[in-house]
Structure 1
Amino acid sequence: MKKYISSFLLILFAGAAQAQLAERPESPQAAFPVLRINAGTYVVGSDNLHLVLYNNSFTNNGNYTDSTGTFVIKGLVNQAGTGSTLVKDMLINTSSTLNLSTSIKTIGTISNNGTFNPGASSVEYGADGDQNIAAGTYTTLITSGSGNKTLTGNTNITSTLGLNGNVKLITGNNLITLKGTTSTITGAAYGVASSSWIVTGDGGTSPSSTGLGGLVIENIGTTGRTTAITFPVGPTPSLYNPVQFTNTGTTDNFTVTVNNQPVPGATVSSSVNSTWLISEATPGGTDAIIGTQWVASQENSLFTRNNSLVAHSDGTSINYSNSVTNAAAGSGPYTLSGAGFTSFSPFGVINGAVVLPVKLTNFTLQQRSDNVILSWQTAQEFGSGNYIVQRSTNGINYVNIGSISAIAYSNDIHNYSFTDIAPANGNNYYRLQINDLNGRSTYSDIQTARVTPNVSFTIKENPATNGKVQVLVKSSDLFILQSLDGKILFKGRLNTGLNTININTISGGLYLLKSGNQTKKILVQ
């Protein structure tokens, strides 16, 4: 039997066909100190009804459906029974508490200004459109319908997370955690396409919108979850990049977040645009197999699936020590696994270490007063493009300081050189980025030169920009600025301390600054 509530105050449902109704025409609101819906009773709210429960015991053994109104909680409300409840919106007022022990589905918004305890119930967010998910601990959380379902805070699952319909669960900066050892995720799998997954981001596609929040799964390892565990994640609502994770080592909690960028340190053209950020709660003791998944649209121009590997990055470069090249599986989406990972940081999919057809037989440095000469020799080149000379002052962050064209094809010995006319004071680290004609790159070994400054005078910024040269002088003296062909552009005495020479009228190029028996080169830009 169906009962309709519209502009009435329902006092009590005492039986399947029994109801006491009090007319209340001034407001479409029904308020109850006690509400019981017995088996066989089907109650339908209409006309945007507000069903108000205050300090109430709400027992639903039948069916309550209201797709237009609001379920309002005032005070302490305990929901029990074996029936089903569908509401559009739910409002939990300030200092109010809703304790659930039976299933409820919302197709609107749960506004939690008090305390929301899902308890052992099943809570379903099932609108055909976007919804916000109230933060808390759920026994069973189900997403269905369509659109984005966005976490409003950190959320825990103790039994089941159901990813149904065409739904993307958006984490934002929040974490969603599978607690214990038996909680599961249904509706999305590894090795296949999916229509629903967890988006570790804010739902956008820019790099800053991905790789946020994450999925945490507890107790993966020999004393917990011992089988392969799927993290059904993706960086955006249109890209599904799950991880399959197996740990044969010490049991730990693991977090996976994914973005839509190549793994740091990879050659972009031969990599996949996806980085999996995997971390463990307690470092050490893990022995992991990591499976990755991607689609063809994420592959860069020179990436080849039959020569690929799961790459472990330290955040700046690739560690190839336990990486094995293999062929990706599948016909779209594609999967690839790597084994023996014992520490965690960014992971990605790239081609095997690039071995360019250049045989570099020698790479040396020669320091001459205020410059450093780099020399290198090749015995064979086949398809070499150019050499980019890079310098660093800390051995970590490098900048390009010059480029030399390569011979391209040769079996003869070829010598190359480059002069750094403005090395930094102290240690200078040099390396060659060797590029082939197909855009692939690799690097030479690193060579180091230490430059000791001449204490007579120091050029503060070299190259010089903004129309001025700043010179730090130890002792006042006569200074001459001239071009390489001897034309004097400035002549005058500079005082002890910091001096500025105006070079607004000088065109870009290399110049000489002289004082006494000391000469320094200045590059004007």
Structure 2
Amino acid sequence: MRIMITLLSLFLMAQQQSFAVTCTWIGGTNNDWNTAANWSTGTVPTSADDVIINAFGSQVNIFSSASGSCNNLTKGGFISNLIVAPGGTLKVLGNLTYNGGVFSGDVSMVGSNLQQVLGSSPLTLNNLTISNPQGVLMSGNDIKLSGTLSLNGPIYTNGRLLEVAAISGGSPTAFVVTGDNLGSASSSGGLAITLNSGGAASFPVGPTLSNYAAVKIVNTAGPAETFTVAVVNSGISQDAVKCTWTIDENTAGGNTAIITLQWDQGSEGGTFNRTACSVYKVSGSSIVYTGYTPQVSAASSVGANAWAQTLSGVTSFSEWTVNNNTGVLPITLLRFAVERTEAQKALITWAVDAYSNPAYFEVEKSRDGLSFAPSRKVFAQEETSYQVEMPLDQWFSYYRLKMVDTEGKITYSKVQAIDGVGIDRIQVFPNPCSSCNQLNIVTSEAGIYHLNWNDQSGRSRFSKKMWLEKGVNPLSLSTYPLLSGFYFLSTIDSNGKHSVLKLLVE
């Protein structure tokens, strides 16, 4: 009987020792975390105990070379301080809730189940170590570290901003997941690091725990800049890596960088070819071809089934992906117009679509509509609309736009024309012509015109009444063949104004 009572006593003592308790800071003795009298339980918290620090005017210190540990930690509002001195460490096995006040020093998240950082205030620490293989979820506000983030497990930013001065570790099983623990990625928030001019940093990030997609940035020129990186799973096409990286700078402009994007083989689209690919800028679900030249090459192997591609000379930051060398999209001209201004100038305007990839444009000019010469060169910019103003000549002038893409391919616009100062308001080109199956009638005003062709003996070859638009109007002469010689085009517009033009057929 005595043996049974003893065994029962030992069992009850063991059970009592294993029960977690809530330790509330009351202070009054000193500021030392490791002084038992400072806690409501009369004992120093263990890793099984929950801790609440919320006493008015209290300051809790974990001194250098000392350590503290707890399960869940709740740090109250701006009425209490928790300071972990350099060389000291606070180990948290459960959730950390921060609602304001001073909280500084080194913290290690060492649980075995998913932990959360909660609270209503941004958390500012020195060093943060993630030693939980299940990870830490940012469910409260942003986190900013003046020291180092050490990664021995994942941390989920969950749409929040995690800003660090330095980072250590980082691997396909321990990195910054710019999403949540349920597999939902986010392009907001992310991992932020400040780079001095000439500085470089690796951003061990990925959209989900199963997809490591690290980034390296080298700030080759410009001032110190804070770069923020996030990744989502969103393939542009089967020719692309199924990741979109968002890279932002705190202050737009002024920096030039080299960016390197990494991915695993499982993230490649079905027709992606890593032997000829480039980093491309992305807008929504489309690749942007303007503003820079793709640098096509084979991707580099950076580990087991892991690859990377680099783009240098980056001066503006947005969304990026890696895509096959599918060729530069053709320049799509949306508008090309030539107008006469009240100041007797020729205003030339044009617009291309956002997916065109021009290197530069040349406005070309001609007096006869046949021989064109460069008149004004305009280099491509980020915008899609352009305009130039040029002096107005004393004669009819013909204009066209030469468009050169980043691969050197050349395309031309249709010809536009305007009249000069004090001349006839209708012209014809080409003149002379060698094969006059089609001519172009140029008018300065739209309207109904009566056209009459006469040969040099005065005989009418044909007569036609037709509507002519302002500018260039094609006129087919296939049913009115003209033999070699001089012809005269007599026109009468809707206002009764009469013009006679001379045409040479060679």
TM-score normalized with structure 2 length? 0.55
Task: Look up the SS of the partner of 2:124 in the other structure.
Answer: strand
Task: Give the match for residue 216 of structure 1.
Answer: 192
Instruction: Summarize deviations over 1:261-302 as a string: whole Å, max 9, x none.
Output: 12xxx5x12100011111111121211100110011110111
Task: Give the match for residue 108 of structure 1.
Answer: 94
Task: Look up the SS of the partner of 1:59 in the other structure.
Answer: coil
RMSD: 3.4
Shift of 1:150: 1.3
Task: Look up the SS of the partner of 2:270 in the other structure.
Answer: coil
From 112, 120, 125, the counterpart of 1:128: 112
TM-score normalized with structure 1 length? 0.53
Question: Do structure 1's residue 195 and structure 2's residue 177 form an aligned pair?
Answer: no
Task: Look up the SS of the partner of 2:243 in the other structure.
Answer: strand
Question: What is the identity percentage for the equivalent residue pairs of Structure 1 and Structure 2?
Answer: 25
Task: Give the match for residue 54 of structure 2.
Answer: 74
Q: Distance in 2 between matches of 1:319 and 1:396?
A: 8
Task: Give the match for residue 327 of structure 1.
Answer: 298
Task: Give the match for residue 153 of structure 1.
Answer: 141
- Pairwise mapping of residues 338-377 of structure 1 onto structure 2 (< 5 A)? 338-354=311-327
Task: Give the match for residue 205 of structure 1.
Answer: 183
Q: How many residues align?
A: 307
Structure 2 gap segments, 5+ residues each:
1-12, 37-43, 335-351, 356-409, 415-506
Q: Partner letter of residue 270 of structure 1?
A: D
Q: Distance in 1 between matches of 2:328 and 2:294?
A: 15
Shift of 1:447: 9.6
- Contact 1:118–1:139 at 8 Å: present in 2 too? no
Q: Partner letter of residue 352 of structure 1?
A: N
Shift of 1:212: 3.0
Shift of 1:47: 2.6
Task: Give the match for residue 318 of structure 1.
Answer: 288
Q: Partner letter of residue 221 of structure 1?
A: N
Q: Distance in 2 between matches of 1:338 and 1:308?
A: 11
Instruction: Name the larger-Rg structure.
Output: 2
Question: Do structure 1's residue 275 and structure 2's residue 244 form an aligned pair?
Answer: yes
- Pairwise mapping of residues 29-40 of structure 1 onto structure 2 (< 5 A)? none
- Contact 2:166–2:193 at 8 Å: present in 1 too? no
- Contact 1:221–1:248 at 8 Å: present in 2 too? no
Shift of 1:112: 3.1
Q: Distance in 2 between matches of 1:95 and 1:184?
A: 28
- Pairwise mapping of residues 14-29 of structure 1 onto structure 2 (< 5 A)? none
Shift of 1:227: 3.3
> CA, structure 1 residues 55+94, in 2 after alignment: closer, same or farther (shift >3 Å)?
farther
> CA, structure 1 residues 145+202, in 2 after alignment: closer, same or farther (shift >3 Å)?
closer
Q: Partner letter of residue 257 of structure 1?
A: A
> CA, structure 1 residues 273+99, in 2 after alignment: closer, same or farther (shift >3 Å)?
same
- Contact 2:33–2:60 at 8 Å: present in 1 too? no
- Contact 1:46–1:66 at 8 Å: present in 2 too? no
Task: Look up the SS of the partner of 1:271 in the other structure.
Answer: coil
Q: Distance in 2 between matches of 1:297 and 1:314?
A: 24
Q: Distance in 1 between matches of 2:253 and 2:54?
A: 49
Q: Distance in 1 between matches of 2:103 and 2:208?
A: 28
Q: Distance in 2 between matches of 1:445 and 1:66?
A: 75
Task: Give the match for residue 202 of structure 2.
Answer: 230
Q: Partner letter of residue 69 of structure 1?
A: D
Task: Give the match for residue 125 of structure 2.
Answer: 138
Q: Distance in 2 between matches of 1:447 and 1:46?
A: 83
Question: Do structure 1's residue 248 and structure 2's residue 241 form an aligned pair?
Answer: no
Task: Give the match for residue 284 of structure 1.
Answer: 253
Q: Distance in 1 between matches of 2:309 and 2:353?
A: 33
Q: Distance in 1 between matches of 2:61 and 2:90?
A: 10
> CA, structure 1 residues 272+108, in 2 after alignment: closer, same or farther (shift >3 Å)?
same
- Contact 1:202–1:212 at 8 Å: present in 2 too? no
> CA, structure 1 residues 58+303, in 2 after alignment: closer, same or farther (shift >3 Å)?
same
Q: Distance in 2 between matches of 1:111 and 1:312?
A: 39
Q: Distance in 1 between matches of 2:46 and 2:411?
A: 70
**Larger displacement relative to structure 2 (101-110 or 153-162):** 101-110
- Contact 2:34–2:68 at 8 Å: present in 1 too? no
> CA, structure 1 residues 445+279, in 2 after alignment: closer, same or farther (shift >3 Å)?
farther
Q: Partner letter of residue 52 of structure 2?
A: V
Shift of 1:314: 4.1
Q: Distance in 1 between matches of 2:134 and 2:411?
A: 51
- Contact 1:170–1:200 at 8 Å: present in 2 too? yes
Shift of 1:60: 5.2
> CA, structure 1 residues 285+67, in 2 after alignment: closer, same or farther (shift >3 Å)?
same
- Contact 1:322–1:341 at 8 Å: present in 2 too? no
- Pairwise mapping of residues 27-66 of structure 1 onto structure 2 (< 5 A)? 46-56=18-28, 57-59=30-32, 66=46
- Contact 2:172–2:211 at 8 Å: present in 1 too? no
Question: Do structure 1's residue 97 and structure 2's residue 80 form an aligned pair?
Answer: yes
Structure 1 gap segments, 5+ residues each:
1-24, 29-44, 365-393, 398-443, 449-525
Q: Distance in 2 between matches of 1:236 and 1:212?
A: 14
Instruction: Summarize deviations over 1:352-375 as a string: whole Å, max 9, x none.
Output: 13379xxx9xx99xxxxxxxxxxx
Shift of 1:118: 3.0
Q: Partner letter of residue 80 of structure 1?
A: I
**Larger displacement relative to structure 2 (153-162 or 318-327):** 318-327
Question: Do structure 1's residue 86 and structure 2's residue 62 form an aligned pair?
Answer: no
Q: Distance in 1 between matches of 2:26 and 2:94?
A: 21
Task: Look up the SS of the partner of 2:135 in the other structure.
Answer: strand
